[in-house]
A and B are shown apart, each in its own frame.
Chain A
Amino acid sequence: MPDAINDLLAALPDLQERLSSKRELLLANAVMFSEIPSPTFDEAERARFMMDRLIEARCQSVATDEKGNAAGIWPGKKGDRNILVSAHLDSPFAKSVDHAISVSPNSITGPSIMDNSLGCAAVATLPTLFDQLDIQFDDNIVLLGSTRSMGRGDIEGMRFFLDNKCLSMRAGVICEGGTLGRLSYSSLGVIRGLIECSISRKASAGSLSSGGAIPVLNRLLTKIQEIPLPTDPVTQIILGSVDAGTTYNTPSRTAELRFEVRSEGSGIAAQVFEQIEDVVAETSSISGASIDLNIVAKRKNTSISFKHPLVKTGRRILKALEVEDHAAPSTGELSAMISREIPSLVIGLTQGENRHGNLETIEIDPIFTGLAQLITLLQAIDGGLCDAED
């Protein structure tokens, strides 16, 4: 076995060079994915493009499902086992945003190019690269563009795929555009919530709500920030966005807060959320405002061990590529995969900046290091180098 992994690591420089020679195939796919608007719950066009690419590359069983996922199978020589490679298809950008991408010799810039058009492009281009570079596997590679990942999507696409799949997965690799070196093997406990305040026209003069919904929301924000949070395990309340009011001189009648509670500790996110429920009830009672609190997404803490062969192999590959690894916990699909006992990792493919901004940018050259990492990891899984001992 040690020889097998050493052979793979020794082949990395050559693989990087061969992948660079196919640069335009990947970059063109990244650009074309990016230029298809794909807000959460409206990913059909990107899914169609993913399927077109998989069909063109002669993948088998290319299909979509009730949640709009796009999937296909690159058949292995034996085909006894299956490895899942996925990327989420949705982006936080509305359809009305200008999705034009610009390409310069060293970088690509435009909405969603990093999160997650590059990841989608990697999944969609893999079978063509396998074919053109004559890279063979014994296992089937199951390629998936998953929907409804972000925000209120609550990784619904991946959950549905895993709950209804016909094939059992030996392991999984989730592709994200950024950042190269990322190696997520644990997922945070996450609860996403939406608070909606609305003010009655008959709010009594002098009450907190007579000033409109914004002062009420402000009181809530202050109270939420006073909730004590453990530092170990790391626990955070992310105040994501606020939407309230329409103009300068009219008290707002409604106000919304989107937030996320995340924690490394099991069950802690739920405990913190209960405290937020108390704050909401108290503020509603004092102000007379109507305040609704709803959970829009929820996922459990899950993890594979740092000593799991999949993690160890992932780190060895990065080290051989002279990339420093960092173990950022995931808030995405990883939770669904590990909780269904599929050992999985999230990897990043390149460096970039301005994530979720209109000038989201990725660097081109590191992509081929990221792709070499991905393919070598798949070869290692395929060769049995990442299986945990029972």
Chain B
Amino acid sequence: MEDFAMPKIEKWIKRNTFHHSQFFDQLELLKQKEKTGLTVSLCIPTLNEEATIGKEIVIFRSELMERYPLVDEIAVIDSGSTDKTLEVASSFGADTYFAGDILPEQGHKRGKGENLWKAIHQLKGDIICYVDADIKNIHPRFCYGLVAPLLYREEISYVKAFYDRPLAFSQGVRPSGGGRVTEILVRPLFSLFYPELTGLVQPLSGEYAVRRHVLERLPFPIGYGVETSHIMDVYKEWGLEAFGQTDLDKRVHRNQETLSLGKMSFGILQSFLGRMQGMGMEGQLPEMHNILRQFQVNDQQYEQTKYNIVEEERPPMIEIPQYREKMGY
């Protein structure tokens, strides 16, 4: 079967894939930001990250606010940490928020997606850059490498990070080294149903920068499915050209256990299949269940553990009355 998608993917990869070193000159980047008149918010979603948050805030504040004011605000949005995450972040000058205090009329749900969604209401930037808090080798490139394509290329709206170099572009060889869930679940799914999206090296990476006018129109799964559903929704609404991706080199973070990855995969599948339904691609798919079953060993006995994983979803922010009022819509 002829592969019609491939030339388009290759063209997109060539045009819309960047390396952070292209934007090393932050003074130039700052000039470009001033030229566009855009403002940038950096959002760090957290839950019990006291071990790494201090270093992230110190480095981002120094490099992206004090030296080169590329970022207009740094905010930590927390799901309800029981450690000193917010105290540490605040002591180094970050704005800190408990997600439950933002848009209280909309209630509070625990999950990373909730923090990201509420950030749209709380933060001021025309661009919001999301960076996870568990990065051991944090560096300002984790922010400027993602924001820069949005400053230079108006047609790009959503820039994802990736961390492993592709083996080759020219022969259509797929990049190596997405995470385990990407390689085992997401890439095969995209390959089956959305081949153009396989050009994204790491669709699940937790670091991305997005224009507000796109973010406010996206629904937000509050759990594991947020990255996958974003990609599918942006693709449906704005097409492949709206995406960019930046190679940020090495990212050191804590490794997740296989069981945790199973839970993540389950949530992603719910979001993925839900969106297929929304796009009329479900065919004869069976009814989806919310129970994930895994096994654990207890004194040589194998026990089945059940997780009820429901991918709740927030509506697009633009539909929220308080937000519309705030933004004057």
Stretch at the interface among B39-47, B88-96, B201-209, B271-279: B88-96
Q: Which of A233-289 contact B (CB under 8 A)?
A: none
B-chain residues with CB within 8 Å of residue A103 when the two chains form the complex: 54-55, 58, 88, 92
A375 to B55, CA, bound (A): 26
B55's partner among A22, A29, A102 (CB-CB below 8 A) is A102
Interface size class of A (residues with CB under 8 A): 10 to 19
Say yes or no: is A128 at the interface (Cβ < 8 Å to chain B). yes
Report the minimal beta-carbon distance from A343 to chain B, rounded to whole angstroms.
34
Residue of B nearest to A28 (CB): B62
Report the minimal beta-carbon distance from B46 to chain A, rounded to whole angstroms.
15
- Known A24-B92, A25-B67: A102·B54 in contact at CB below 8 Å: yes
Say yes or no: is A42 at the interface (Cβ < 8 Å to chain B). no
Q: Check B59–A105 contact: CB distance below 8 A.
A: no
* Chain B binding surface, main DSSP class: helix
Report the minimal beta-carbon distance from B199 to chain A, rounded to whole angstroms.
32
Report the minimal beta-carbon distance from A181 to chain B, rounded to whole angstroms.
25
- What is the 8 Å Cβ interface bit string for chain A, positions 33-61, against chain B (1 contact, 0 not)? 00100000000000000000000100000
Interface size class of B (residues with CB under 8 A): 20 to 34
A78 to B43, CA, bound (A): 46
B-chain residues with CB within 8 Å of residue A35 when the two chains form the complex: 137
Q: Check A28–B54 contact: CB distance below 8 A.
A: no
Report the minimal beta-carbon distance from B128 to chain A, rounded to whole angstroms.
22
Say yes or no: is B66 at the interface (Cβ < 8 Å to chain A). yes
Among A27, A28, A56, find the residue whose CB has the most chain B CB atoms closer than 10 A.
Answer: A28
Q: Check B52–A28 contact: CB distance below 8 A.
A: no
- Known A100-B136, A105-B88, A105-B91: A24·B51 in contact at CB below 8 Å: no
Say yes or no: is A304 at the interface (Cβ < 8 Å to chain B). no
Say yes or no: is B252 at the interface (Cβ < 8 Å to chain A). yes
Q: Check B66–A25 contact: CB distance below 8 A.
A: yes
- What is the 8 Å Cβ interface bit string for chain A, positions 93-104, against chain B (1 contact, 0 not)? 000000011111
- What is the 8 Å Cβ interface bit string for chain B, positions 71-99, against chain A (1 contact, 0 not)? 00000000000000001100111000000
A128 to B67, CA, bound (A): 9
Report the minimal beta-carbon distance from A236 to chain B, rounded to whole angstroms.
38
- Known A102-B52, A103-B54: A28·B137 in contact at CB below 8 Å: no
Say yes or no: is A5 at the interface (Cβ < 8 Å to chain B). no
Report the minimal beta-carbon distance from B31 to chain A, rounded to whole angstroms.
15
Report the minimal beta-carbon distance from B78 to chain A, rounded to whole angstroms.
16
Say yes or no: is A31 at the interface (Cβ < 8 Å to chain B). yes
A249 to B92, CA, bound (A): 54
- Known A102-B51, A105-B87, A128-B67: A24·B58 in contact at CB below 8 Å: yes
Residue of B nearest to A30 (CB): B58
Say yes or no: is A293 at the interface (Cβ < 8 Å to chain B). no
Q: Which of B274-310 contact A (CB under 8 A)?
A: none
Say yes or no: is B313 at the interface (Cβ < 8 Å to chain A). no
A237 to B179, CA, bound (A): 53
Say yes or no: is A32 at the interface (Cβ < 8 Å to chain B). yes
Residue of A nearest to B91 (CB): A105
B-chain residues with CB within 8 Å of residue A100 when the two chains form the complex: 136-137, 252
Report the minimal beta-carbon distance from B131 to chain A, rounded to whole angstroms.
15
- What is the 8 Å Cβ interface bit string for chain B, positions 132-161, against chain A (1 contact, 0 not)? 000011010000000000000000000000
A66 to B51, CA, bound (A): 40
Say yes or no: is B61 at the interface (Cβ < 8 Å to chain A). yes
Residue of B nearest to A103 (CB): B54
Report the minimal beta-carbon distance from B25 to chain A, rounded to whole angstroms.
10
Say yes or no: is B126 at the interface (Cβ < 8 Å to chain A). no
Q: A28-B59, A103-B92 are in contact. List 13 more A-B contacts (CB 8 A).
A: A24-B58, A24-B92, A25-B66, A27-B62, A28-B58, A28-B61, A28-B62, A31-B58, A101-B55, A102-B54, A103-B55, A105-B54, A105-B88
Residue numbers of A with Cβ under 8 A of B are 22, 24-25, 27-29, 31-32, 35, 56, 100-105, 128
Of all A-B residue pairs in the complex, the 5 with the closest CB atoms, nearest first, are A28-B62, A103-B54, A105-B91, A24-B62, A103-B55
Can you report 26 A-B residue pairs in the complex whose CB atoms are below 8 A from each other?
A24-B61, A24-B62, A24-B92, A25-B66, A25-B67, A28-B59, A28-B61, A28-B62, A29-B62, A31-B55, A32-B59, A35-B137, A56-B67, A100-B137, A101-B55, A102-B51, A102-B55, A103-B54, A103-B55, A103-B58, A103-B88, A103-B92, A104-B88, A105-B54, A105-B88, A128-B67
